[in-house]
C-alpha cells in the first residue's frame, strides 16, 4: 500500500520534528537506547565471559580487585570480571523487564478496552479484579508467589516465573487508565457514526478506539517497563533471581551476600545500582514525554503546528 | 412494489428512563421518563425531502437516532420498504421476539418481514450535527469515506474502492479528490468536513439520508453551499432526505414537506409551501412569524412565545403547548388535541382547529365541560 507508506513517513517525520525539540525526551531516549545497545552487543564490549575467573600472573584468582588493578570495574569475590557481569546482566534485566512490561501492557490494554467498551458485567468483573490486585501489597504477594512456584519444582526457568508474576500483577493501572479513556471515546460522535454506518464491535474497536488510545498505550508501556525493571531488580536482590543468569538485581544480591560493602568493594555494588537507575530513569523520562506528546487530548489541535493550518482552501469547493 | 411509502413511521415512542436516587426508590416514588418522542407518525416517499422542525430538545435527534437504529424505540413501528426496522430487530435476533414477522397496525393486522440492521444501514445513512466530532481524528479522508464500503464488504478491489471514494468526494464538491485522500480531518475546515461526512454517507448510494441539523454548526457563509449540495444530491441521485433543523428559514429552501415538532410530538405536518404560507397551528404561526424577512414593509406581526419550553418529563396536561399558547382556551388544559386535516395532506393538532372543522363536536364538548 503505497499511500500507507507515504502516511507513515509523514507521521513519523511530524513526530520526530516535535520530539527533537524536547530535551528531556531526547535524554530519556538516549539512556534507553544505549542500554539496549549494550545488552545487544555485550560480547563485543568485553573480552571475558561473566563466569571467567580473572587470574594474576601467578595464576591466583583476583578477588575484590579494584578497577585500578583489573579491567574497567575490577573483580568480585570469586574473581569474576564485574564489567562483563554488568553488560551481560543488562541482557537479563532488560529481557525480564521488557517481557514482563509487554505482558502487563497487553493484558491491561485488553482488559481496559473490553471493560470500557462493553461495560456492564464484564466491566464489573474486571474492575473488581483490579481492585483486589490494587489493595494487596505487591511485593509480599510477589515474594510469596515466586517462592511458591519455585517450591513446586515445575521445571520452569526462574526467569520465566519472574516474567509471568510481574507481568500478570502490573497490568491493573494500565487497565484502569485505558478503560477510562475508552469510556470517553466510545461516547464520541464518530463512534456513533461508525455504528450508524453498520460497523460491528470488532471494527469499531480496531479502527476507532484503538487508534485513539494507541499513543497512550505506547507511552504507558514505556513507563511500565521502568516499573518492571525495578521490580525485577528488587526481587532478584531478595534472592529470587536466577543465579546462573545474573541480572543487575542478582549482582546486588551477590554483593550484599558476600560482604562487598565491608570489604569496601564499591566497584561491585555501585555499577549495577547505577545501571538500574540509568534504565529506569530513561524509561520514565521517555514515557512522560511521550505521554505528553501523544495524549489524544493535547494533539490534533488544528491551530497547533504550522504545517497543520487550514489555510489551504479546497480548489473548486469553496 | 406496494402502495406504501418508502419509509413509514407509526406511533413512535422513545422514553428515556431517569435514573432514580436511593431515596426515591425507598419512598417508592414512581419512575420518571424523559418523553423525548411521544407518538410520532409520518411517511416519506422516494425522493422526497421531509423537514422536521422544532426547538432544541423537542426530540428531533432522538427520532433520527431511532430511525437508524442507534436507539431502540420504546414503542411503535418503523417500516422501510415494508419491512420492519429499528433496534427491535436486534432483540428479535436474540430470540426475544419472533424474527420472521411482526404485526403492525391494529386495523390491518398485516404481517411484515423484518429487515436486518445491516441491510437497513446499507440503504439509509445518517449525517450528524457536528462535523468536528463526527470524523475520527486519526483516520484519513480516504479511510473515512471508504469505511462504509469496507464495513459492508463492497467494492473489494482496491481500484474499484478508490474509484468509488473519488466519485463520492467529487460529488460532494471536494475536487480534485486525490488531494484529500491522505489528509486528516483536522486539516479541513468545517464546511469541508461536512462535505466529507456527506461523501461518506453517499458512497453506498443509499436511498435515505437522515441529516440531523447538518448546517447548524457551520459558519453562516457556508451553510447555503452545504444545503445546495444536499439539494443537488437529491436531484441527481433521487435520495430521500429527512432533514432535521431548528431553523424554519433553511427548510423553505428545499423541503417538500414540513413536520413541526413540539415536545416530542408533531403538531403540524403538510406540504412545505402550504405550511409556510398558511400555517394552522399557533406554534407554527409563532415560528414563522419570527423568520427574518428581508423587506421590512412585509414584516408580519411577530408572535413571541412566552415562557420556557416545559421539560419533557412532566408534560403539561391537555394540549402540551397550552402554557405558552397565545390563543389557548380553557378546554386546552384538559383535552389533548388529535390531528385534524386542515388542507390537502395538511394536518395540525389543535383544539381550535377542531372547533372550526367540526362545530358539532366542539359544541358537544363545550356542553360536557
Ligand atoms: N440518552 C438520553 N438519555 C436521557 N435523555 C435523553 C437522551 N437523549 C436525549 N434525551 C432527552 O430527550 C429530549 C430530546 O432530545 P433530542 O436530542 O432529541 O432533542 P433535539 O430536538 O435534537 O434538540 P437539539 O435541537 O438541541 O439538538 C431532551 O430533553 C434530552 O434531554
Ligand atoms: Mg439534536
Written in H, E and C, the secondary structure of A257-303 is: HCCCCCCCCHHHHHHHHHHHHHHHHHHHHHHHHHHHHHCCCCCCCCC
Asked whether the predicted pLDDT for residue A304 surpasses 80, the reply is: no
- DSSP conformational letter for A78: T
Identify all chain B residues contacting A190, using CB atoms and an 8 Å cutoff: 133-137
How far apart are the CA of A299 and the nearest CA of chain B, in angstroms?
10
- For A32, A45, A232, A271, B71, the CA distances from A275, given in Å and listed in that order, are 11, 16, 13, 6, 57
Asked whether the predicted pLDDT for residue B297 surpasses 80, the reply is: no
Q: What is the mean pLDDT of residues A142-165?
A: 85
Percentage of residues in chain B with pLDDT exceeding 70?
86
Q: Does A11 touch chain B (CB under 8 A)?
A: no
Hey, is B53 helix, strand or coil? strand
Answer whether residue B176 is part of any domain. yes
Answer whether residue A15 is part of any domain. no
Contact at 8 Å (CB) between A271 and A84?
no
Tens digits of per-residue pLDDT, A204-237? Answer: 999 999 998 988 898 899 999 999 999 999 999 9
Answer whether residue B152 is part of any domain. yes
Give residue B137's domain range.
5-278
What local confidence, expressed as pLDDT, does residue B359 receive? 46
| B280 Cβ below 6 A of ligand 1 | no
Q: How far is the CA of A111 from the centre of ligand 2 (A)?
A: 34
Pairing of strands B49-54, B257-262: parallel
Q: Does A295 touch chain B (CB under 8 A)?
A: no
Residue B90's pLDDT band (cuts 50, 70, 90): low
Q: Which ligand is nearest to the CA of B311?
A: 1
Residue B230's pLDDT band (cuts 50, 70, 90): very high
What the block records as the C-alpha cell of A40 is 545487544
Answer whether residue A111 is part of any domain. yes
What local confidence, expressed as pLDDT, does residue B354 receive? 64
Mean pLDDT taken over chain B: 83
What local confidence, expressed as pLDDT, does residue B362 receive? 40
Cβ-proximal residues to B232 (8 Å cutoff; 6+ apart), any chain: none
Answer whether residue B337 is part of any domain. no
How far apart are the CA of A291 and the nearest CA of chain B, in angstroms?
17
B95 vs B333, which has greater pLDDT? B333
Q: Does A194 touch chain B (CB under 8 A)?
A: yes
What the block records as the C-alpha cell of A96 is 525480564
B23 vs A103, which has greater pLDDT? A103
Residue B289's pLDDT band (cuts 50, 70, 90): confident
For ligand 1, atom 7, which residue shows the shortest CA distance? Answer: B16
Cβ-proximal residues to B74 (8 Å cutoff; 6+ apart), any chain: B13, B14, B15
Identify all chain A residues contacting B175, using CB atoms and an 8 Å cutoff: 314-317
| B39 Cβ below 6 A of ligand 1 | no
Number of domains in chain B: 1
Cβ-proximal residues to B16 (8 Å cutoff; 6+ apart), any chain: B33, B34, B36
Does B192 contact A208 at a Cβ distance shorter than 8 Å?
no
Is the ipTM higher than 0.90? The answer is: no
What local confidence, expressed as pLDDT, does residue B314 receive? 82
Answer whether residue A151 is part of any domain. yes
Which is the closest atom of ligand 1 to the Cα of B64? 18
Pairing of strands B265-271, B257-262: antiparallel
What local confidence, expressed as pLDDT, does residue B19 receive? 81
- Tell me, what CATH number does B162's domain have? 3.40.50.300
Q: How many residues appear in chain B?
A: 369
Answer whether residue A202 is part of any domain. yes
Percentage of residues in chain B with pLDDT exceeding 90?
41
CA dihedral B290, B295, B298, B304 (to 10 degrees): 20
Identify all chain B residues contacting A300, using CB atoms and an 8 Å cutoff: 137-138, 184, 186
Give residue A158's domain range.
35-50+63-298
Answer whether residue B340 is part of any domain. no
Cβ-proximal residues to A120 (8 Å cutoff; 6+ apart), any chain: none
- Adjacent-strand bridge partners of B259: B52, B269
Which is the closest atom of ligand 1 to the Cα of B62? 18
Does A301 contact B186 at a Cβ distance shorter than 8 Å?
yes
Mean pLDDT taken over chain A: 83
- For A6, A42, A147, B53, B314, the CA distances from B36, given in Å and listed in that order, are 47, 69, 61, 15, 11
Tens digits of per-residue pLDDT, B234-287? Answer: 999 899 999 999 888 888 778 999 999 999 999 999 999 999 999 999 999 998
Q: Closest Cα partner for B204 from B145, B249, B156, B257? A: B145
Asked whether the predicted pLDDT for residue B358 surpasses 70, the reply is: no
Answer whether residue B304 is part of any domain. no
Tens digits of per-residue pLDDT, A20-52? Answer: 888 899 999 999 999 999 999 988 888 888 777
Answer whether residue B332 is part of any domain. no
Answer whether residue B218 is part of any domain. yes
Q: Which ligand is nearest to the CA of B212?
A: 2
Q: What is the mean pLDDT of residues B179-186?
A: 90
Angular region, B90: left φ>0, alpha ψ -120 to 50, beta rest: alpha
- Tell me, what CATH number does A245's domain have? 1.10.3720.10
Answer whether residue A28 is part of any domain. no
Contact at 8 Å (CB) between A30 and A47?
no
Identify all chain B residues contacting A192, using CB atoms and an 8 Å cutoff: 65, 70, 128, 134
Answer whether residue B40 is part of any domain. yes
Q: Closest Cα partner for A104 from A177, A210, A203? A: A177
Residue B40's pLDDT band (cuts 50, 70, 90): very high
Does B147 contact A199 at a Cβ distance shorter than 8 Å?
yes
Tens digits of per-residue pLDDT, A91-117? Answer: 999 999 999 999 999 999 999 999 999
Contact at 8 Å (CB) between B216 and B129?
yes
Q: What is the mean pLDDT of residues B276-302?
A: 81
Answer whether residue A260 is part of any domain. yes
Tens digits of per-residue pLDDT, B73-86? Answer: 888 889 898 888 86
CA distance A72 to A270: 13
Answer whether residue A122 is part of any domain. yes
Residue B94's pLDDT band (cuts 50, 70, 90): low
Q: Count Cβ atoms within 10 A of the Cβ of residue B157 and give its class: 0-12 exposed, 13-18 middle, 19 or more buried.
A: exposed
Q: How far is the CA of B125 from the centre of ligand 1 (A)?
A: 20
Cβ-proximal residues to B179 (8 Å cutoff; 6+ apart), any chain: A314, A315
**DSSP codes joined into one string, B119-185:** HHHHHEEEE-S-TTTSS-TTS-HHHHHHHHHHHTT-S-SHHHHHHHHHHHHHHTT-SSTHHHHT--G
Q: Does B133 touch chain A (CB under 8 A)?
A: yes
Number of domains in chain A: 1
Residue B180's pLDDT band (cuts 50, 70, 90): very high
What local confidence, expressed as pLDDT, does residue B88 receive? 57
Amino acid at each position: 500500500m503505497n499511500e500507507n507508506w507515504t502516511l507513515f513517513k509523514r507521521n513519523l517525520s511530524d513526530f520526530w520534528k516535535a520530539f527533537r525539540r524536547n530535551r528531556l525526551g531526547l535524554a530519556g531516549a538516549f539512556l534507553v537506547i544505549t542500554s539496549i545497545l549494550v545488552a545487544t552487543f555485550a560480547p563485543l564490549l568485553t573480552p571475558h565471559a561473566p563466569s571467567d575467573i580473572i587470574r594474576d600472573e601467578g595464576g591466583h584468582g583476583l578477588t575484590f580487585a579494584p578497577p585500578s588493578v583489573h579491567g574497567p570495574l575490577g573483580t568480585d569475590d570469586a574473581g569474576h570480571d564485574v564489567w562483563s557481569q554488568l553488560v551481560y546482566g543488562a541482557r537479563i534485566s532488560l529481557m525480564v523487564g521488557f517481557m514482563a512490561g509487554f505482558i502487563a501492557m497487553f493484558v491491561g490494554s485488553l482488559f481496559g478496552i473490553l471493560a470500557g467498551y462493553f461495560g456492564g458485567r464484564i466491566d464489573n468483573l474486571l474492575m473488581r479484579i483490579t481492585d483486589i490486585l490494587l489493595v494487596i501489597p505487591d511485593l509480599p504477594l510477589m515474594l510469596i508467589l515466586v517462592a511458591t512456584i519455585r517450591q513446586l519444582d515445575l521445571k520452569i526457568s526462574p526467569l520465566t516465573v519472574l516474567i509471568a508474576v510481574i507481568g500478570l500483577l502490573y497490568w491493573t493501572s494500565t487497565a484502569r487508565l485505558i478503560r477510562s479513556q475508552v469510556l470517553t471515546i466510545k461516547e464520541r460522535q464518530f463512534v456513533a457514526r461508525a455504528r450508524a454506518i453498520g460497523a460491528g464491535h470488532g471494527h469499531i474497536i480496531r479502527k476507532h478506539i484503538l487508534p485513539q488510545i494507541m499513543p497512550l498505550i505506547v507511552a504507558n508501556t514505556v513507563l511500565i517497563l521502568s516499573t518492571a525493571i525495578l521490580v525485577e531488580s528488587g526481587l532478584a536482590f531478595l534472592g529470587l533471581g536466577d543465579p546462573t543468569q545474573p541480572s543487575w538485581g542478582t549482582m546486588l544480591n551477590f554483593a550484599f551476600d558476600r560482604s562487598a560493602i565491608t570489604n569496601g568493594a564499591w566497584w561491585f555494588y555501585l555499577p549495577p545500582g547505577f545501571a538500574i537507575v540509568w534504565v529506569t530513569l530513561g524509561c520514565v523520562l521517555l514515557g512522560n514525554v511521550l505521554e505528553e506528546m501523544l495524549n489524544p487530548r493535547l494533539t490534533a489541535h488544528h491551530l497547533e503546528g504550522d504545517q497543520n493550518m487550514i489555510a489551504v482552501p479546497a480548489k473548486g469547493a469553496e | 412494489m406496494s402502495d406504501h411509502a418508502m419509509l413509514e413511521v407509526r406511533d413512535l415512542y422513545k422514553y428515556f428512563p431517569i435514573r432514580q436516587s436511593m431515596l426515591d426508590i425507598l419512598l417508592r416514588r414512581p419512575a420518571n421518563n424523559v418523553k423525548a418522542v411521544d407518538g410520532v407518525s409520518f411517511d416519506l416517499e422516494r425522493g422526497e425531502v421531509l423537514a422536521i422542525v422544532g426547538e432544541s430538545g423537542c426530540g428531533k435527534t432522538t427520532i433520527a437516532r431511532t430511525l437508524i437504529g442507534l436507539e431502540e424505540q420504546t414503542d411503535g413501528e418503523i417500516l422501510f420498504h415494508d419491512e420492519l426496522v429499528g433496534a427491535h430487530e436486534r432483540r428479535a435476533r436474540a430470540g426475544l421476539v419472533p424474527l420472521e414477522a411482526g404485526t403492525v397496525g391494529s386495523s390491518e393486522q398485516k404481517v411484515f418481514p423484518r429487515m436486518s440492521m445491516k441491510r437497513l444501514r446499507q440503504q439509509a445513512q445518517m449525517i450528524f450535527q457536528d462535523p468536528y466530532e463526527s470524523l475520527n481524528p486519526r483516520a484519513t479522508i480516504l479511510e473515512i469515506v471508504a469505511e462504509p464500503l469496507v464495513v459492508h464488504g463492497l467494492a473489494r478491489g482496491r481500484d474499484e474502492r478508490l474509484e468509488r471514494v473519488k466519485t463520492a468526494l467529487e460529488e460532494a464538491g471536494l475536487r480534485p479528490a486525490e488531494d484529500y485522500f491522505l489528509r486528516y480531518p483536522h486539516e479541513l475546515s468545517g464546511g469541508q468536513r461536512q462535505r466529507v461526512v456527506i461523501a461518506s454517507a453517499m458512497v453506498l448510494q443509499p436511498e435515505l439520508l437522515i441529516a440531523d441539523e447538518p448546517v447548524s454548526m457551520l459558519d453562516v457563509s457556508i451553510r447555503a453551499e452545504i444545503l445546495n449540495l444536499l439539494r443537488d444530491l437529491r436531484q441527481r441521485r433521487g435520495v430521500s432526505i429527512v432533514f432535521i433543523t431548528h431553523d424554519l428559514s433553511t427548510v423553505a429552501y428545499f423541503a417538500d414537506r414540513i413536520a413541526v415538532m413540539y415536545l416530542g410530538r408533531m403538531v403540524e405536518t403538510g406540504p412545505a409551501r402550504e405550511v409556510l404560507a398558511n400555517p394552522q397551528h399557533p406554534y407554527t404561526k409563532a415560528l414563522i412569524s419570527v423568520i427574518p424577512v428581508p423587506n421590512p414593509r412585509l414584516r408580519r406581526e411577530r408572535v413571541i412565545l412566552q415562557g420556557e419550553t416545559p421539560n419533557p418529563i412532566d408534560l403539561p396536561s391537555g394540549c402540551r403547548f397550552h402554557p405558552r399558547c397565545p390563543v389557548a382556551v380553557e378546554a386546552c388544559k384538559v383535552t389533548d388535541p388529535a390531528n385534524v386535516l386542515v388542507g390537502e395532506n395538511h394536518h395540525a393538532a389543535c383544539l381550535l382547529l377542531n372547533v372550526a372543522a367540526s362545530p358539532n363536536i366542539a359544541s358537544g364538548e363545550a356542553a360536557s365541560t
